[in-house]
Structure 1
Amino acid sequence: MHSRSDTIRHLRTSRTRTAARLCAASLAAALALSLTACGGDDDPESGDENPGGGETAATVTLPQLDGQSLEVAAVWTGPEQANFRKVLEEFEKRTGATVTFVPAQDPIINFLGSKIAGGAPPDVAMLPQVGAIEQAVDKGWAKPLGPEAQEQLTEHYSQGWQDLGKVDGEQYGVFYKAANKSLIWYNNQVFENAGATEPQTWDELLTAAQTVYDSGVTPFSVAGADGWTLTDWFENVYLSQAGPEKYDQLAAHEIPWTDPSVTDALTTLAEIWGKDDYIAGGADGALQTEFPASVTQTFTGGDQPKAGMVFEGDFVQVNIAETDAQVGTDAKVFPFPAVGDTAPVVSGGDAAVILEDSEAAQALATFLASPDAATVQAKLGGYLSPNKNVDSSAYPNDVQRRTAEALVAAGDDFRFDMSDQAPQAFGGTPGKGEWKILQDFLTDPTDIAATQEQLEAEAAKAYGN
């Protein structure tokens, strides 16, 4: 079993190695082109095309598992959970196994710890952080993937996505779900009424926000109740402003959170977070707004919604689908604007990790690593796969298709979510660490130095240095 210090050393070593290979610039360019190309309302491919319909052709051989059962735990709720259940149903149909979805709570490592302590761990867990995979291995919970799953990964995934699921060179995770977390979605009618245009730079974003505000609509919907959305705001600003090298150093805690580059990023964020009138409900209202509501309140109410824009990833489409807005016409999207020289591209993802090794668990991991599983969920929308052999025609609209194509075309050219790389105590626990400190900063972004000191104290404690 790895010691905590061994785990931290591995985190630093693997990220330094990955940093030499990954660069955000080319994906940012590809994404900008893809979103521009699909923004037109007259695109014949812009509407939903039988989402979830039809059979998915089998490209992976799975064993017959009649009479076997397994549990899969994930923090997913609402449409995201419902869509994943359809993937599990496909696995059941092909294998004869019975799969039970177990709703988990954040932080999932704590949830799993209680299940394991009670002698009832799920067979497979979907872990939303690289740091959580490291912790599961460190605690002796995670089991290595078998040769069938590894074969699927080798065939269908770029090396960068494979490496994110490795610990000390051994494959533990299948990154089944990816996310482009560098997008801003907007209510097209609000923009048209205000005369606002899609910004390409941070200054242009501030101009667009003021233009929307002057038209009588609050510019931004912010999901302040969910600390992870605030870390995503910070990471996009920081990556673009400080650059990839600094981003990797801060992700590995090789530079402190009191570094001047963090000062600059928080100062930039305060240009929006420090204006209560720019945020739906003000800071207090934002702290009561969970992520799904932050999306739906942007696309309900016609041309007088609670906000004109909402920041988050491609998965926003799942929540837009709960409104009357149509992606590509009523709901449009632009890449997170460049704060520095280059627009940022921050990616996230969820990995399947085996906790109870069995033929059924290994088969499910193999299935999730194949194009078959991803194709089922791709058809349902609000999902992005890092699997390079998922046919882009499976995605239900042109925005999603082109975003998926840009991700695959970029190969290893991305930066992974910084907070998801951190120990979960710092980067992934509600009410603690970075999540809580940024929630406090949203409430009062005036004392940047104090915020940095708190971030550094919590990071040093979590990283053990």
Structure 2
Amino acid sequence: MRRAAAAALWCVLLAPAGCTAVASPDRPYAGQTVEVAGSWTGEEQAKFQRVLRAFGQRTGARVRYTPGGSDLDVMLSAQVAAGSPPDVAMIPQAGVIARYVASGAAKPVTGTAERAVRAHFSPQWQQFGSVGGRLYGVYFKAANKSVIWYRADAFAAAGVRPPVTLDELSATSQTLVDSGVAAMTVPGADGWPLTDWFENIYLQLAGAQRYDRLAAHELRWTDPTVVETLRVMGRYWSSPRFLLGGAAGALQTTFTRSVADVFGRRPGSAMLCEGDFVATEIAKLGLYRVGDGARYFAWPSLNGAGGAGGPGSAVVAGGDAAVAFTDRPVTTALMAYFASPEAAAIMVRDGGFLSVNLDLDPVVYPDATTRALAGTLLTAPTVRFDLSDLAPSSFGGGNGASMWRLLQEFLAAPDTDPAVVAARLEAAAAVAYGSP
């Protein structure tokens, strides 16, 4: 019944005159061009362009996609400054969205697009797309970042099972080391995976309310909860032979390399802490099947501390939100389309993509592992958006960002006093947030 209602709403969203107008030769946006900018390139771009073509076929609009890659924000800022922004941008950082809202460049989600979001997304994900209580973003793609991937044969050889608590993670890691394999690969050359380590441990240790306050810089980074989180990270990172190549090796390891270090032809370690998107990289290598030889477990809890409960009950999420920069009717129709289960299904069925659209039929997911990872984003009692993505980009969201750089420095010397690292983070955050 819910999917039938969704289909009926979709007809109204795309065609003001009704479904017959969409199906007729005189489609409502024939001859109009709408531009979408995003970070996706390669295979992701090809998949996304299938979504855009479907919108064009339904409405008559011509959709042009402009890829910005890792420099999306730089490209978008230049376009906004020149007075020629794209109609829609798929933005992966909530802090960047807030900046464009503050400048007046981003347009609120209104009309049929807003009704589509209210119909198909949970209040939690509506909140993630809101700034100052007003809706600006439609989370077309989501990410589950509370995941630790492991090689099943390495666990079997060591006689260990997926750990449930952080203490068990350390014990499991030691047993793996004793069996002759490094426990963990850490892609320290890319700063963002280190922020995911911090965020997962912090959410477990400090709880959701302090997490929210820290993300808004209402709580200083010198708070004891931050210091203790850094202490937990440093203790693991400095444990002998836990990290493949040690700290020096981790700092030379990229994200792509890290997947091969666990699931490649010559694996050197047994585990990798990173999001659902690791599954796509595993599939590219073609050696281990996701859900069989390549498996995952939820980030271990800290013995229930901070109200997080058991593993999987507190999840760090990310995602790419569609944000409008023009208020043309065709833009509103495209935003409504991004909020539809039909658009999500086109991306989901090919794998490597999670949706939090409530009306997407889970059967569309190509495998049980991806289906479960997506389901957690909708059912976990506590879901919080990636903290570094919520922060101003100079602190948490880009190459050279302070949080990335300072955590890389901590990885290089994990025996550093955590209070010193926390003080450095606070100094950088004060500048980025404009705090006194």
Q: Which band: TM-score by shorter chain?
A: 0.7 to 0.9
Q: TM-score, normalised by structure 1?
A: 0.82
Q: How does 1:245-394 map to 2 (within 5 A)?
A: 245-275=209-239, 277-301=241-265, 304-324=266-286, 325-341=288-304, 342=309, 343=311, 344-394=314-364
1:77-104 deviation line (CA, Å, top 9, x unaligned):
4433333232223223323333232222
Mark the CA change 1:261 to 1:371 in structure 2 (over 3 Å): closer, same or farther: same
2:22 paired residue number:
none
- Give the match for residue 429 of structure 1: 398
Q: For 1:308 and 1:385, locate their aligned partners in 2 and report how far apart those are by CA, in whole Å.
A: 28
Residue 385 of structure 2 is aligned to residue 416 of structure 1: yes
**1:54-203 aligned within 5 A:** 60-61=10-11, 62-63=14-15, 64=27, 65-106=29-70, 108-203=72-167
Q: How far has the Cα of 1:119 moved from its partner?
A: 4.4
Other-structure match for 1:404 = 374
C-alpha separation in 1, matches of 2:343 and 2:58 = 11
- Aligned identity (percent) is 46
SS of residue in 2 equivalent to 1:322: helix
Residue type at the aligned position of 2:368: D
Give the direction of change, closer, same or farther, for the CA distance of 1:96–1:215 in structure 2 (3 Å limit): farther
Q: Which segment drifts farther, 83-92 or 152-161?
A: 83-92
The verdict on how the C-alpha distance between 1:194 and 1:79 changes in structure 2, with shifts beyond 3 A counting, is: farther
CA offsets per residue over residues 113-155 of structure 1, 9 Å max, x none?
1222344422211111221111011112111223111111111
Deviation string for 1:243-282 (max 9, x for gaps)?
Answer: 2222222122122111111111111111222246322333
Secondary structure of 2:155's match?
helix
The Cα of 1:111 is off from its aligned counterpart by 2.9
Contact kept? 1:107, 1:429, Cα under 8 Å:
no
Q: 1:277 to 1:132 in 2, by over 3 A?
A: same
User: Which letter does structure 2 place at the counterpart of 1:337?
Assistant: P
Highest RCO, 1 vs 2 (Cα 8 Å, sep ≥ 6)? 1
**Partner of 1:11 in structure 2?**
none
1:294 aligned counterpart, secondary structure: helix
Structure 1, unmatched stretches of 5+, are 1-56
Q: Helix, strand or coil for the counterpart of 2:262?
A: coil
Displacement of 1:105: 4.3
Structure 2 residue ranges without an equivalent (≥5): 1-6, 16-26
Question: What is the Cα deviation at residue 373 of structure 1?
Answer: 0.9
Q: How far apart are the structure 2 equivalents of 1:107 and 1:436? A: 18
Whole-angstrom distance in 1 between the partners of 2:434 and 2:268: 43
CA contact (8 A) 1:250 1:257 kept: yes
- For 1:236 and 1:219, the matched residues in 2 are separated by 18
Q: Tell me if the contact between 1:59 and 1:371 (Cα under 8 Å) persists in the aligned partners.
A: no
Structure 1 ranges of 4+ moved more than 6 A: none
Q: Is the 8 A contact 1:223 1:287 kept in 2?
A: yes
Measured in 2, the distance between the counterparts of 1:329 and 1:398 equals 11
Cα deviation, 1:34-61, whole Å, max 9, x if unaligned, reads xxxxxxxxxxxxxxxxxxxxxxx89723
**Across the two proteins, how many residue pairs are aligned to each other?**
407
